[in-house]
Amino acid sequence: MQPDKLYTPLTYLKGVGPRRASLLGRELGIETYQDLLFHFPNRYIDKTRFYKISELERSQSDVQIIGRIVHMKTVAQKRGKRLVATFVDESGEMELVWFRGQRWFQERLKLNEPYVIFGKANWFNGKYSMPHPEMELLSKFRQQKRIKMQPVYPSTEKLGQNGITNRLISQWIQQVLEITSSCFSETMPPEVCNELQLVDKQSALQQIHFPDSQNALARALFRLKFEELLLSKKMHRKSRIKGFVFEEVGENFNSFYKQHLPFELTSAQKRVLKEIRADLGSNAQMNRLLQGDVGSGKTMVAVMTMLLALDNGYQACLVAPTEILAQQHYNSVHALLQPMGIEVGLLTGSVKARDRKPIHEGLRSGHLSILVGTHAILEEQVRFANLGLAIIDEQHRFGVAQRARMWTKNQTPPHILVMTATPIPRTLAMSLYGDLDISVIDELPPGRKPVRTVHRRDSDRLRVFGFLREQIALGRQVYVVYPLIQESEVLDYKDLMDGYESITREFPPPEYQVSIVHGKMKPQDKEIEMQRFAEGKTQIMVATTVIEVGVNVPNASVMVIESAERFGLSQLHQLRGRVGRGAEQSFCILISGSKLSEDAQTRLQTMVHTNDGFEIAETDLKLRGPGNLMGTQQSGLLTLKIADVVKDRDILKAARHYAALLLKQDPMIGREEHRMVRENMQRMDVFKNIWDHIS
Ligand code: ADP
Ligand code: MG
């Protein structure tokens, strides 16, 4: 076995010089033999089928035909010369066309000799024509090993322009497969190979590039996906860690529940609290993700969980991602607990040094039992006497790193509750957060009127303005949001300013006052404008998506989203969440152009027909795939090359099962028969190619 051979730089391969090697490195990250072997096809073309010219159809993709060139000529055109060949078989006639390298082809192509051609035939000027076909003399073609399914590799324009064709790539891979055939030894534990009848690694690689049949391809894919998932570090999370036991439901919790609870809990809140209490009372550390749409009442769950910590003699903290949110949390927690005489501390970046000191001391002595703040809480100097519970409100992001930081605060790790308003589809959540338990608040407090959503075209704008006037006359306020997409910031800014002008024209002072907030403003100016809107001094807020997460103006009841087709689903849903916070019926108006892509149409329709964040997230997942969902990128499972945590659920389940078995038998993965598992787990990180899923 010579595994080192796998790391040979590509320049050593016949036909790959330094220039091509560096291109492959830059464009696709392929530098070694191994990289090339792990550059998988994203589809295959059936090469067992030959077409007759008379059988061609207009919507066909690549076809393979046997025939002869009977005539060739160069044709001069406005946009340059091209070479046109008349190609015939017994059924008909078509054209082959070259726009580049005419001379070269004209000199080499033979008239009246049978060729096998391959490419896409376009219907053009009353006949079929195939630009730049792949072609080979039939006599030569017959001598070759027949490829049944031809691999098609992901590539880039630049590679194509530099003559690195699909055919070359597949030839190189063929070469590398031969050179490295002795380099693979079995990585999977023998009992797993047996039970699952895995094909060996070498043939799996051979078959994924050059499959003998669909069946062989399927087995190769299973083997490679299973291996990748099993070796993923995410599968090998340590099993449960010992945690503090909160046995008591004591004085604080009970008296709050009986005397200070301002409303009846929803049944979803009750269920979630039960789930949390079961965790806290067990011997293990809680690691729970609490999902609930904006306004579903997560804060109350957080407060009551903190009271459980207090009842058992522990401190608790609540960490928010921004100052504004920390302040808001502090206000609500403080208001709820003050009547019970429980002191709450606030610690953010802007708390002055002299005000920090008593907080630090209170935490260290244990006198201060509840702390709310930003990540300032995670700093070195902040020490707790006995932190038993950390609640992290992540709102729209998943800070895995922050979660880990909380651990270092104690010998025994505190219980962790992560709250998020981003609904992650269940199917995905289970894969991504295998190490977290999940609770869901899937019910809004009673009396909320769901936001009514409509889709309007640009041409309906005057009617929309009329509606806004009615709403403003009723005393309500309105948001008008424009998209902001980084690449075209200048253009978007212009859109925003044009929009602002037309709004001020339609809604002139002194009757109307219009605020504007965008990314180019100074923070203090932004703050002032937000404040004016919040106080009701302006009726309309024109903004880009910078309107801060967590902005809460209950009197705002209309959200108008301009160029709505340019927003992603989760963003639309987040924006809509800015209204519907007061007692009034709220509205969301999505304005788009009249030409919509199919995906855009689906997005807007989804918004119109549902307010359910989970349903929206499921649709988003279908449209965009897991890698693009908000916040999920950081999860290690999404950097996989070949397995897809959503499509390959069954393989994932199998891998999870065997990972657990493996850990049970050999917790440190130290045994000799698991050496290859261990080494390959460490090596996983080196695969850095981009994999386009086989569909
Ligand atoms: P989230 O943090 O999940 O977005 P909040 O905890 O801020 O939501 O709750 C939103 C609003 O709903 C708050 O004003 C809160 O007091 C109120 N609320 C929470 N639970 C209930 C309930 N069971 N019944 C009525 N109102 C509730
Ligand atoms: Mg909240």
Give the count of beta carbons closer than 10 Å to the beta carbon of residue 203: 15
Structure letter (DSSP) for residue 423: P
Q: What are the backbone angles phi and psi of residue 114, rounded to the nearest 5°?
A: -70, 130
Secondary structure (H, E, C), 524-569: HHHHHHHHHHHCCCCCEEEEECCCCCCCCCCCEEEEEECCHHHCCH
**Å from CA of 393 to ligand 2 middle:** 7
630 pLDDT exceeds 80?
no
Q: Which of 99-103, 420-424, 474-478, 657-661 has the lowest mean pLDDT?
A: 420-424
265 CB near ligand 1 (under 6 Å): yes
In order of 338, 343, 361, the CA distances from 357 in angstroms are: 22, 16, 6
Q: What is the dihedral of CA 134, 138, 143, 149, to 10 degrees?
A: 50
149: three-class secondary structure by DSSP: strand
190 vs 309: CA distance, rounded Å: 47
Q: What is the 97 CA–ligand 1 centroid distance (Å)?
A: 67
Q: Checking phi first, is residue 129 left (phi over 0); if not, alpha (psi -120 to 50) or beta?
A: beta
Identify which ligand lies nearest to the alpha carbon of 577. 1
> CB of 288 within 8 A of CB of 439?
yes
Give percent above pLDDT 70 in the chain.
87
State the virtual CA torsion across 391, 392, 398, 403 in degrees, nearest 10. Answer: -70
pLDDT in tens, 554-567: 899 999 999 999 88
Closest CA to 355 of 380, 337, 376: 376
DSSP state of 260: I
Residues paired with 260 in a beta bridge: none
* Nearest-angstrom CA–CA distance, 47 and 132: 18
Ligand 1 atom closest to the CA of 298, numbered from 1: 3
* Distance of CA 392 from the midpoint of ligand 2 (Å): 11
- pTM given for the model: 0.62
Q: What is the pLDDT of residue 380?
A: 74
Q: Is 297 in the pocket of ligand 1 (CB under 6 A)?
A: yes
Say how many Å lie between the CA of residue 395 and the centre of ligand 2. Answer: 7
Residue 322's pLDDT band (cuts 50, 70, 90): confident
Model pLDDT for residues 325-360, shown as the tens digit of each residue: 788 899 999 999 999 999 999 999 888 989 999 999
Which stretch of DSSP H or E encloses residue 114?
A: strand 114-120
Q: Please report the pLDDT score of residue 272 as a whole number.
A: 97
Q: Residue 248: its pLDDT value, please?
A: 85
**Arithmetic mean of pLDDT, 496-506:** 91
Phi, psi of 533 (to 5 degrees): -70, -45
DSSP single-letter state for residue 474:
T
For residue 529, what is the enclosing H or E element?
helix 523-534
CA angle 164, 166, 169 (to 5 degrees): 70
Q: Across all residues in the chain, what is the average pLDDT?
A: 85
Atom of ligand 1 nearest to the CA of 263: 24
Q: In 274-343, where do the E strands start and end? A: 287-292, 315-319
Q: How confident is the model at residue 491 (pLDDT cuts 50, 70, 90)?
A: low
Other C-beta atoms lying within 10 Å of the C-beta of residue 238? 8
- Residue 295 Cβ inside 6 Å of ligand 1? The answer reads yes
Cis peptide before 510 (omega within 30 of 0): yes
Lowest mean pLDDT among 221-225, 251-255, 629-633: 629-633
pLDDT value of residue 544? 83
Scan for tokens 């194509």, then name that residue. 160
Say yes or no: CB of residue 299 within 6 Å of ligand 1: yes
Tell the residue number behind the tokens 């963003």, with chain if given.
571
Measured over the CA atoms of residue 358, residue 360, residue 365 and residue 371, the dihedral's sign is positive
Which ligand has the nearest atom to the CA of 394?
Answer: 2
Helix (H) or strand (E) holding 420: strand 415-420
**pLDDT of the residue at 551:** 66
Residues 625, 629, 634, 638: what is their CA dihedral angle, to the nearest 10 degrees?
-10
For a mutational test of ligand 1's pocket, the pick from 290, 293, 296, i.e. the residue with the most ligand atoms closer than 8 A to its C-beta, is 296
Ligand nearest to the CA of 441: 1
The predicted model gives 640-657 an average pLDDT of: 78
Q: Is the CB of 92 under 6 A from ligand 1?
A: no
Distance 299 CA to ligand 1 centre (A): 7
Alpha-carbon gap, residue 526 to 361, rounded angstroms? 36
The pLDDT value recorded for residue 503 is: 95
pLDDT at 562: 93
Report the alpha-carbon distance of residue 307 to residue 313 in Å, rounded.
10
Highest mean pLDDT among 357-366, 483-492, 541-550: 357-366
Q: Has residue 526 got a pLDDT over 50?
A: yes
| Rounded alpha-carbon distances, angstroms, from residue 77 to 73, 123, 297, 546 | 13, 19, 69, 52
Q: For residue 47, which of 65, 32, 23 has the smallest C-alpha distance?
A: 65
Residues 101, 104, 107: CA angle, nearest 5 degrees = 145
Q: What is the mean pLDDT of residues 528-556?
A: 83
Residue 332 CA to ligand 2 center (angstroms) comes to 10
Using the Cα atoms of residue 372, residue 376, residue 378 and residue 384 in order, give the sign of their dihedral.
negative
Distance from CA of residue 66 to its chain's centroid?
A: 45
Going by pLDDT thresholds of 50, 70 and 90, the confidence category of residue 259 is very high
Ligand 1 mutation target, pool 256, 261, 272, 299, most atoms within 8 A of CB: 299
pLDDT greater than 60 at residue 635: no
Q: How far is the CA of 293 from the centre of ligand 2 (A)?
A: 9
Is residue 557 within 8 Å of residue 585, measured between CB atoms?
yes
- Alpha helices (H) in 1-152, listed in sequence order: 18-28, 33-37, 102-108, 138-143
In the numeric block, the tokens 């306004």 are attached to 295
Question: Among 15-24, 79-88, 194-203, 477-486, which is the least confidently predicted range?
Answer: 477-486
The atom number, within ligand 1, closest to the CA of 300 reads 6
d(CA 343, CA 370): 7
Residue nearest to atom 24 of ligand 1 (CA): 445
Structure confidence at residue 452 (pLDDT) = 96
Q: What is the pLDDT of residues 290-305, one digit of tens each?
A: 988 878 899 999 999 9
577 lines ligand 1 (CB under 6 A): no
According to the model, what pLDDT value does residue 83 have? 93
